[in-house]
Amino acid sequence: MESEANFTLRSDVWSFGVVMWEIYSLGSLPYSDVPIRELLPYLSSGRRLIPPSSAPSNIAKLMRMCWEMPAESRPTFVKLDFYLNGPSKRSKSGAYDTRPPILPIKPQLSSTSSPINSPKKESKVFT
């Protein structure tokens, strides 16, 4: 493990695994028991975060996959998506549909029915 900052898609996959750990640990601070100066040797020795007990087994496995070394052995985001969502997102050609999902359109109020444009009712003041 290099001490230089080398940011790649594979390092982003590592970070994704850490984010998943943070989610399933309900916001705990990762590596909180490791002094910052010892973190690189800690990781270089092969030690990793322990997936939280609240994480389902498939998510715990995903975390471990994200932290594999060397970086080339980590899954791509496409493979992570397939792992999490299954083959249903693949088209007939086998390619992944990377477009965002189409969301239902909410009917909009016409300008005449908007509460802002509605005629104000006179309020009666009793004196």
pTM of the model: 0.65
Tens of pLDDT, residue by residue over 58-97, are 999 999 999 999 999 999 999 999 888 887 555 566 665 6
**Cβ proximity of 31 and 70 under 8 Å:** no
Cα separation of 123 and 7, whole Å? 64
pLDDT in the model for residue 45: 95
Using a 10 angstrom Cβ sphere, with 0-12 exposed, 13-18 middle and 19 or more buried, the burial of residue 13 is buried
Full domain range(s) for residue 27: 9-88
Q: Identify the bridge partners of residue 90 per DSSP, sorted by sequence position.
A: 96
Answer whether residue 59 is part of any domain: yes
Q: Mean pLDDT across the chain, nearest whole number?
A: 82
Cα separation of 24 and 82, whole Å? 20
The CATH number assigned to the domain holding 26 equals: 1.10.510.10
Answer whether residue 107 is part of any domain: no
Cα separation of 7 and 47, whole Å? 21
Number of domains in the chain: 1
Answer whether residue 70 is part of any domain: yes
Answer whether residue 28 is part of any domain: yes
Instruction: Indicate if the pLDDT at residue 122 is higher than 60.
Output: no
